């Protein structure tokens, strides 16, 4: 850029030249400051939030007796967990209004066994925030989040040699794809207790082996997409108990193997076809659930694992559950490799004598499923117009309402009324 001569006559031109030189000097110093501080590399954008990590206040972490204590002190601003070095058995992080953890913040600590989060709000776990490569340590880790509200668990945020992951009494806004990738031969426990989850992405939990998954009294605020849990192996027990779900899409829960499956007292808005894909090795118990709007083949992808060896069929216990069909009622389909044991299955629909063969004596449901389980199936029945429908046992309904002598009255009654 050519240099403007300062010999130009006139005070006006001298003023303009002075201003230009001043602006150039300011720009140069500003750029130098930006490069020195690395701001351009440290800008982070997540939705509506833009965070300059270089301007965040680091959490003070105090080392004492093989433990790092990182206490935010309830400071009302976004804080950053610094990269910690040295050796420690336990890192405890607590009392944060807003906390961000960047990649490998704790990966260099030697001998680390346990990381706990207590009373933390607006926690952002960026990619590889809690990443622990196999070569860095041979000690598997225990992660515990209690009374923690997590803004996001980013892809591969929890990664590496993990033995236990526990979430208790908190909220998770978003779980991204591949958020949890465990590299240990197999973990011992993945537990969620009283956790609300706003959004879980497809393949959030993918390709790992764990002894037990325990999900209790949680709430999924939005629908669960296909493959939210994908190619996961559960060596012992999968417990889903007292959980509130919205819509569950096909193969939302996809497991390569489960030894024992227990679904108890859960509430669903709807379940799509084959919402649960699982190869069972030892036992299945599904009881006390309300599955909402239910696909006819909702449970068709529950299958027998090839390692099951017995002279008798495995029993599939299906008791005290409620299903509903939007239009025409349908029988539920199960794999015939199981010994299906149905007790007190409630259809939140009315049954019709149109679905009964009244020419048989006694009259029988046309569907084989309804025939086989007519003494355990209950349907809505309006015995007193103007009052809410009660449930009636299917065999009793057929005996009372679908005898051939009353069949034509049953058909003509609506038109006469």
Per-residue b or e along 343-357, where b marks 16 or more CB atoms closer than 10 Å to that residue's CB: ebbbbbbebebebbe
What per-residue confidence (pLDDT) applies to 295? Answer: 97
Cβ atoms within 10 Å, residue 10: 8
Which residue stretches of 275-391 are H helix? 368-372
Q: What angle do CA 116, 158, 74 make, to 5 degrees?
A: 40
- Residue 382 is predicted with a pLDDT of 76
Q: Report how far residue 400's alpha carbon sits from residue 103's, in angstroms, rounded to the nearest whole number.
A: 69
Residue 249 gets the label, from left (phi > 0), alpha (psi -120 to 50) or beta, of beta
Distance, in Å, from the CA atom of 198 to the CA atom of 47, rounded to the nearest integer, reads 15
Cα gap 116→91, rounded to integer Å: 6
Question: So what's the pLDDT on residue 137?
Answer: 57
Question: Helix-strand-coil percent breakdown of the chain, rounded to 5?
Answer: 15, 50, 35
CA distance 358 to 303: 35
The confidence score (pLDDT) of residue 40 equals 32
What SS3 class is residue 35? helix
Q: What pLDDT score does 1 carry?
A: 44
Closest by Cα among 277, 265, 329, 268 to 303: 277
Please give the pLDDT value at position 120: 98
pLDDT tens digits, the chain, 417 residues: what are they? 444 444 444 554 454 445 455 554 444 444 444 333 333 333 333 333 445 556 689 999 999 999 999 999 999 999 999 999 999 999 999 999 999 999 999 999 999 999 999 999 999 999 999 998 766 556 889 999 999 999 999 999 999 889 999 999 999 999 999 999 876 677 899 999 999 999 999 999 998 999 999 999 999 999 999 999 999 999 999 999 999 999 999 999 999 999 999 999 999 999 999 999 999 999 999 999 999 999 999 999 999 999 998 999 999 999 999 999 998 899 999 999 999 999 999 999 999 999 999 888 889 999 999 999 999 999 998 755 555 568 999 999 999 999 765 544 444 444 444
Distance CA 242, CA 257 (A): 23
pLDDT for 225? 98
Quick one: tokens of 235?
Answer: 């060596």
pTM of the model: 0.83
Are 365 and 354 in contact by the 8 Å Cβ rule? The answer is no
**Tell me, what's the pLDDT at 384?**
59
């Amino acid at each position: 850029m050519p240099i403007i001569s300062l010999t130009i006559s006139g005070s006006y031109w001298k003023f303009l030249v002075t201003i230009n030189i001043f602006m150039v000097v300011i720009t140069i110093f500003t750029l130098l400051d930006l490069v020195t501080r690395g701001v351009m590399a440290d800008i982070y954008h997540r939705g509506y939030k833009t965070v300059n990590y270089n301007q965040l206040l680091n959490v003070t972490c105090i080392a004492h007796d093989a433990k790092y204590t990182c206490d935010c002190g309830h400071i009302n601003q976004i804080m950053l967990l610094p990269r910690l070095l040295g050796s420690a058995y336990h890192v405890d992080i607590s009392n944060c209004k807003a906390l961000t953890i960047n990649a490998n913040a704790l990966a260099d600590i030697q001998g680390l066994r346990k990381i706990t989060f207590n009373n933390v709000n607006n926690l952002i776990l960026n990619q590889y925030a809690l990443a622990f490569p196999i070569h860095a340590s041979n000690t598997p880790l225990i992660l515990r989040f209690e009374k923690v509200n997590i803004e996001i668990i980013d892809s591969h945020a929890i990664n590496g040699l993990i033995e236990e992951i526990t979430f208790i009494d908190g909220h998770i806004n978003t779980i991204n794809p591949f958020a949890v990738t465990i590299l240990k031969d197999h973990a011992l426990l993945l537990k969620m207790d009283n956790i609300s989850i706003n959004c879980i992405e497809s393949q959030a939990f993918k390709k790992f082996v764990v002894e037990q998954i325990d999900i209790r009294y949680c709430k999924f605020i939005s629908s669960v997409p296909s493959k939210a849990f994908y190619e996961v192996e559960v060596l012992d027990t999968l417990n889903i108990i007292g959980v509130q779900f919205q819509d569950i899409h096909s193969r939302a829960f996809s497991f390569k193997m489960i030894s024992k499956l227990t679904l108890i007292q859960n509430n669903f808005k709807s379940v799509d076809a084959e919402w649960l894909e699982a190869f069972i090795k030892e036992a299945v118990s599904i009881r006390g659930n309300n599955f909402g709007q239910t696909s006819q083949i909702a449970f068709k992808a529950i299958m027998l694992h090839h390692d099951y060896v017995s002279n008798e069929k495995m029993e599939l216990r299906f008791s005290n559950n409620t299903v509903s069909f939007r239009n025409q009622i349908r029988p539920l389909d199960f794999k015939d490799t199981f010994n299906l044991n149905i007790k007190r299955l409630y259809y939140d629909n009315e049954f019709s004598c149109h679905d009964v063969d009244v020419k048989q004596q006694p009259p029988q449901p046309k569907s084989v499923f309804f025939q086989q389980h007519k003494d355990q199936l209950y349907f809505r029945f309006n015995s007193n117009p103007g009052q809410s429908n009660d449930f009636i046992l299917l065999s009793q309904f057929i005996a009372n309402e679908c005898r051939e002598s009353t069949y034509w009255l049953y058909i003509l009654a609506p038109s006469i009324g």
